[in-house]
Amino acid sequence: EIVLTQSPGTLSLSPGERATFSCRASQSIISSYLAWYQQKPGQAPRLLIYGASNRATGIPDRFSGSGSGTDFTLTISRLEPEDFAVYYCQQYGSSQFTFGPGTKVDIK
């Protein structure tokens, strides 16, 4: 099973600031089968990024993903008030899909 580690656990930032999230895998993820999701309280997760760097339909371009192998990054260029949430990475390149523990972004 591929284990995903996310850092930091919590990010305290202000609207307008840049947010950077890290996701590290215990082994290489094939074909960059890495996704990022956003989850707000009481809501289902929402797909942001697939294939490590492709924005999902309807996702604003302030969200970007990068990385390959074992190290991946999600960046929000300028935080909007609606971006304060929990962000999860997920790998779907092995038979046991796994999620990272999440990074919470809260208002500073």
Partner 1 sequence: EVQLVESGGGLVQPGGSLRLSCATSGFTFSKYSMNWVRQAPGKGLEWVSYISSSSNIIEYADSVKGRFAISRDTAQDSLFLQMNSLRVDDTALYYCAKIRNAKWLVDAFDLWGQGTMVTVTS
Q: Return the residue of 50, 63, 72, 84 that touches partner 1, per CB under 8 A.
A: 50
Q: How many residues bind partner 1 (CB under 8 A)?
A: 26
Looking at 11, 29, 35, 85, which residue binds partner 1 (CB under 8 A)?
Answer: 35
Exactly one of 39, 70, 73, 75 binds partner 1 (CB under 8 A); that residue is 39
Sheet holding 19-25, edge to edge: 4-7, 19-25, 71-76, 63-68
Span near partner 1 by CB under 8 A; candidates 19-27, 33-41, 67-75, 76-84:
33-41
Q: Which of 13, 17, 33, 73 binds partner 1 (CB under 8 A)?
A: 33
Taking the chain, what is the end-to-end CA distance rounded to the nearest angstrom?
36
Helix residue ranges, H only, 1-61: none
Strands 4-7 and 19-25: antiparallel
